[in-house]
Structure 1
Amino acid sequence: MWHLRSASQRQQTPLRLQQQSLQFLLQMAEQTAFGRHYKFAQIRAALDPIRAYQEQLPIVDYEQMYAHWWHRLLEDEANVVWPGKIRYFAQSSGTSGSPSKKIPVSKAMLGAMKRSTKFMFAHSTQWELGPNFYGRDFLIMGSSTTLRKQGQHWLGDISGINATQMPSWFRGFYKPGAKIIKLPNWEERVSAIAEQAHKWDLSVIAGIPSWVQMMLERVLQVQKADQIIDIWPNLKIYVSGGIAFSPYRQRFKELIGGNVHTLDTYNTSEGSLACQTRIDDEVMPLELILNNGIFFEFIPFNADNFSPMGQLLPQAKALHIGEVREGKEYALLLSTCSGAWRYLLGDTVRILNKQRAEIRLTGRIKHFVSICGEHLSVDNMNEALARCEAELGLQFGEFHLQAVKVGNHFEHHWFLGQTAPLAGLSEELLAQKVDQYLGALNDDYKTEREDNLLKKVKLRLLPNALFWEWWGQQKRLDGQSKFPRVLTAKQFADWKQFLDAKGY
């Protein structure tokens, strides 16, 4: 087995740790169907195993990995991509194909995820949190732990899967507790948390910022308090993840009060990749966990390797951790102890500190919207509109959208171009159709809508010429730039000002 390096055990370089991780993965999977197919034994014996590995195996995405290998796991076949049978599958929304990915989660990966949490909190002695930090409750805001049975397998959100594996010693500290976390509806869970909040003595809160913010606001309302620190005076750490924290930073300060630090994490359905190991509330650097069952590769995120639409080009080349450069942006490839091999995750990161293996998550290789965890990709948007066109016999022009916060909830505001008047079609009906298809395409979007954190779609039909007139005013009619599907805050302000001036 591998051992996590602690702050005092960094004698080995990031590259050496990754060489050891790859060798371990290859050795473990050598006798699987995948390992025999790609001759893992020969790769392990090569003078340069990393180079041999990269030359022998293709880069794949989810659809390719599932179609060729992972589907066999759900047919209860053993020793396919990782030793033994895999019983758990994390469901995660895909960008194309089926509405939800099914990511294998092996026993080895479950252990690795537990170790990643220990890795982060092993550094807590350096954070100067004081003696009151230890031995108190942890509030973890995640999905319901209710999993779905499919044959001999269990499917659900990765946070729900991990919750079922919680060690017995931790259950006494874990909040909101098994009864509340099993409630399937978000509104019910957050109401129950708000009612019980005064009974707990928290030192840590963990969860996606949008969901945690909503919970904190409800707690203050129910408990009739001014700040969270009045209810939980020993709260010291908020563990963020899932989406960027920066848009929520100021509101969190107002809600919580006191001296509470934010630590970021980088957890995916494919594995726990990185976490923040030192206090830095502004930069929030993520340290890659380099010897915990994952081998990382980095594809420079540029025109040499990706098309303008984010498609991987045939000539794309990947680098190992020893070859990356600080300040540069890369798309991540993963090889894991759950049987992902040279798997294109879809995320992009920037290298902040090569020696410490610190990164910042910068986005996706394709545009997307995730104001509250809905992870809505441009592919989802295009497909939803295509299905509307097919059903209604219509043809739309350009479109874009902006995600906005309205009170305690969020909305997607769509602007859809019409090349000719759409007789007999109301904006309300079209918005319902778009909303319906997005829910069918994207499980995360469906969940946010069902839990009412994301309100119904707001949609406006506009002459298609308006889109290009505005784009021309942005000095972007140059034959090269792509019309934006997701507007930045500045673009949205400019767009609204333009529409006002045009009388729309």
Structure 2
Amino acid sequence: MEIIGSIIKGAINLKGALTSEPNHIEAQQNVLEKLLKTASKTAFGIEYDFERIVSSGNIQNEFANKVPYFDYHQLLEKWWHRVIEGEENVTWPGNPDYFALSSGTTGKKSKRIPVTNEMIEAIRNAGIKQVEALSNFNLPASFFEKEIMMLGSSTDLQERDGHLEGEISGISASNIPFWFEGFYKPGRDIAKIDDWDKRVQRIAEKAKEWDIGALSGIPSWMELMLQKVIDHHKVEDIHDIWPNLQVYTSGGVAFAPYEKSFNSLLKHPITVIDTYLASEGFIAYQERPETDAMKLITDNGIYFEFVPFHPEYINQDGSLKQDAPSITLAEVEVDQDYVLLMSTVSGAWRYIIGDTIEFTNVERAEIRITGRTKFFLNVVGSQLSVNKMNTALREIEEKFDIEIPEFTLAATRINNQFHHHWYLGTETAVDNTTLAETLDEVLKNANKNYRVARSKALKGVKVTTVPPLVFSEWSGAQKKKGGQVKMERVMSEEKFAEWEAFISENTTTQNQ
């Protein structure tokens, strides 16, 4: 028996047995009160009279009534530009040592999001919670002696005006506790390589020296890394290199679109655990194997609010209308899409992260990510969320026995009539007309609003297939490869024109 692994597993199991389920509603009330008290003397806290909010009879209601919603650009324009310029005590006490660079899924220009020491500690605490949850997954003791491949962004953070900048995965990896370094791969030297292709090449070259038991990273980039390792060593699958690989923790995006293509790189299935780490904080993690839903971390420096995701509450640019009603964790219901708001120990307040979520279990505070506010396609009343798009494509995969890990689409005009033009990342002999007709029927059957739109303003559906690799090349050309970069699922007409020009220059497509 692996003695060290048994000790570690035993300690995790004991900690899990001794840790009781928190009262999530009370935990959130306590987090908000602590946030407000801590930031009461900041410029933001004075502007919105945090001291009066704390002394009111209902802190949550008063907070919602007094403080407006902020998306990144609104918070940057009024408050965070002062933080970036080095001013202290603006939205949080002091001035942060780090800024997370996030190009997200829209635009070439990186966002610069404050990351305080309190947030780094919160992310570390959330990671410990996730490790403790492994006691629920019935993993063998030997697993706890294996190494973990964390495929994030470069840990070579850039110094700027007295602070360090990088993507949140790079910031987190550069702050891993000393006791974890022996398990962490690819190690500090390789992790510092900024060029993603060069870093992955070094990983491929060193892969046989490591005994990897777990992977962590964004699915699209993880697949490319695994394929590179497989090709470099001329083997059939990744288990020929890492036979003890048993766990993959995905992060920030739905894993379902990648499931078929990801599994094709394995000799046998592994345990997939979802996590939700954003530049703004560690939001949730999968606690139980019987569901792929994730548990909101309600007692760790982030206060959550929820706005029902209805078109009348959303501006054209994906931001929230200020009169949209918000609710607390005590008021949410299952099977309802919500826009997620966060107030954090990094000085984000009623911050629109841009994701939509649904609750699968209110008592356990378990959620799934359903899409992005900016990726909600409602130009002609079709009301298509990313979740509905993903569900439809899974049916297409099943029907034609194909893999579609990537896609994007836009509402385009042909002779002044709207069409949905889908680009599907797939290698298939099925012609595009068949795919378009089938996709159209699946969406009609599953979505009443889409069916109505197709009978009126939405005149047609077009599909173009391209190799899946094109999507990562587009992301690389638009922003940067690897890390937290994710593909935009819904594009504006202007962005779509750029996409089609890129496709025309870089690949031969099959047109409908």
Normalising by the smaller structure, the TM-score range is: 0.7 to 0.9
Q: Equivalences for 1:19-58 in 2 at 5 Å?
A: 19-58=29-68
The answer to whether residue 365 in structure 2 is matched with residue 345 in structure 1 is no
State whether structure 2 residue 332 is matched by structure 1 residue 324.
yes
SS in 2 for 1:42: helix
Distance in 2, Cα, partners of 1:445 & 1:327: 35
**Counterpart of 2:399?**
none
Cα deviations across residues 80-123 of structure 1 (Å, max 9, x unaligned)?
11111112111112688982211000000011111111111101
Structure 1 residue 166: Cα displacement:
1.6
- Which of 144, 154, 157 is matched with 1:147 structurally? 157
Q: 2:277, 2:283 within 8 Å by CA — same for their partners in 1?
A: yes
SS of alignment partner, residue 205 of structure 1: strand
Deviation at 1:12, TM superposition (A): 3.9
User: Residues 25-104 of structure 1 correspond to what in structure 2 (within 5 A)?
Assistant: 25-93=35-103, 99-104=109-114
Shift of 1:483: 9.3
* 8 Å contact from structure 1 (residues 399, 485) kept in 2: no
1:405 aligns with 2:442: no
Partner of 2:344: 336
TM-score, scaled to structure 2: 0.72
Contact 1:6 1:119 in 2 (8 A): no
Contact 1:180 1:192 in 2 (8 A): yes
Gap change, CA 1:95 and 1:129, over 3 Å in 2: closer
Report how far residue 308 of structure 1 moved.
6.2
Mapped partners of 1:98, 1:320: distance in 2: 34
Distance 1:368 1:300 in 2: 14
User: Is 1:313 aligned to 2:321, yes or no?
Assistant: yes
Aligned to 2:449: none
Aligned position for 1:125: 135
Are residues 377 and 329 of structure 1, via their aligned partners in 2, closer, same or farther at CA, if it must alter by over 3 Å? same
State TM-score, norm by structure 1. 0.73
Could you tell me how far apart the structure 2 residues matched to 1:237 and 1:97 are?
33
The alpha carbon displacement at 1:243 in A equals 2.5
Retained in 1: the 8 A contact 2:407–2:423? no
1:322 counterpart SS class: helix
Whether 1:198 aligns to 2:208 is yes
Shift of 1:257: 2.3
Name the CA distance, whole Å, in 2 between partners of 1:300 and 1:83: 32
Alpha-carbon distance between aligned partners in 2 of 1:373 and 1:91, rounded to the nearest angstrom: 26
The 1-side partners of 2:369 and 2:48 are apart by 31
Contact 1:228 1:256 survives alignment (8 Å): yes
Amino acid at match of 1:447: K
1:394-452, CA deviations, whole angstroms, 9 ceiling, x for partnerless residues?
Answer: xx997875444367xxxxxxxxxxxxxxxxxxxxxxxxxxx9xx99xx988321399x9
Q: Does 1:367 align with 2:400?
A: no
1:373–1:444 CA contact under 8 A, matched in 2:
no
Distance 1:443 1:318, change over 3 A: farther
Residue 215 (structure 1) aligned to one of 225, 233, 241: 225
Task: Report how many aligned residue pairs link the two structures.
Answer: 411
Measure, in 2, the Cα distance between the counterparts of 1:128 and 1:100.
40
| 1:251-290 alignment, distance < 5 Å | 251-280=261-290, 284-290=292-298
Q: What amino acid does structure 2 have at the position aligned with 1:251?
A: S
156, 165, 168: which one aligns with 2:166: 156
- 2:407–2:425 Cα contact (<8 Å) kept: no
2:6 is matched with none
Give the partner amino acid of 1:219.
V
Matched, 1:446 2:487: no
2:405 and 2:193 mapped to 1: Cα distance? 19
Q: Aligned partner of 2:425: which letter?
A: K
C-alpha change, 1:337 and 1:375, in structure 2 (3 Å) is farther
Gaps of 5+ in 2: 1-14, 378-385, 391-403, 428-469, 497-509
Task: Give the aligned CA root-mean-square deviation in angstroms.
Answer: 3.7
SS of corresponding position for 2:276: strand
For residue 203 of structure 1, give the secondary structure of its aligned residue in structure 2: strand
For the 8 Å contact 2:137–2:289, the answer to whether it is kept is: yes
SS of equivalent residue, structure 1 residue 325? coil
- With over 3 angstroms needed to count, the CA separation of the structure-2 counterparts of 1:266 and 1:356, relative to structure 1, is same
Q: Where does structure 1 differ by over 6 angstroms across 4 or more consecutive aligned residues?
A: 94-98, 368-378, 396-400, 482-486
Tell whether 2:274 aligns with 1:241: no
1:154–1:400: structure 2 CA closer, same or farther, 3 Å change rule? farther
Deviation at 1:274, TM superposition (A): 0.5
Match of 1:110 among 88, 106, 120: 120
Q: SS state of the match for residue 282, structure 2? A: strand
**Counterpart code for 1:345:** I
Deviations 1:120-178 (A, max 9, x none): 11011221101111122110001111222221122211111112212222111111111
Secondary structure of the structure 2 residue equivalent to 1:123? helix
Query: In structure 2, the residue corresponding to 1:206 is in which secondary structure?
Result: strand
Q: 1:37 to 1:307 in 2, by over 3 A?
A: closer
Q: Measure, in 1, the Cα distance between the counterparts of 2:146 and 2:124.
A: 19
Report how far residue 43 of structure 1 moved.
1.1
The SS at the match of 2:313 is: coil
Give 1:234 deviation, angstroms. 2.1
How many Å separate the matches in 2 of 1:259 and 1:220? Answer: 17
Aligned with residue 357 of structure 1, among 361, 365, 385? 365
Partners of 2:495 and 2:376 lie apart in 1 by 9
Q: CA deviation at 1:352?
A: 0.7
Label 1:485 to 1:67 Cα distance change in 2 as closer, same or farther (>3 A). Answer: closer
1:168 and 1:208 map into 2 onto residues whose CA distance is: 24
Change (3 A) 1:403 1:8: farther
Aligned CA distance change for structure 1 residues 453 and 307 (closer, same or farther; 3 Å): closer
Tell me if 1:166 matches 2:186.
Answer: no
Moved more, 185-194 or 94-103: 94-103
Letter in 1 for 2:139: L
Deviation at 1:326, TM superposition (A): 0.6
Separation (CA, whole Å) in 2 of partners of 1:59 and 1:208:
29
Q: 1:270 & 1:159 partners in 2: Cα distance?
A: 11
Give distance in 2, aligned partners of 1:399 and 1:304: 23
User: Would the aligned equivalents of 2:123 and 2:282 in 1 still touch at CA under 8 Å?
Assistant: yes
Residue 189 in 1 paired to residue 199 in 2?
yes
- CA–CA distance in structure 1, aligned partners of residues 53 and 486 of structure 2: 49
For structure 1, the residue ranges without an aligned partner over 5 or more in a row are 383-395, 408-434, 455-481, 487-497
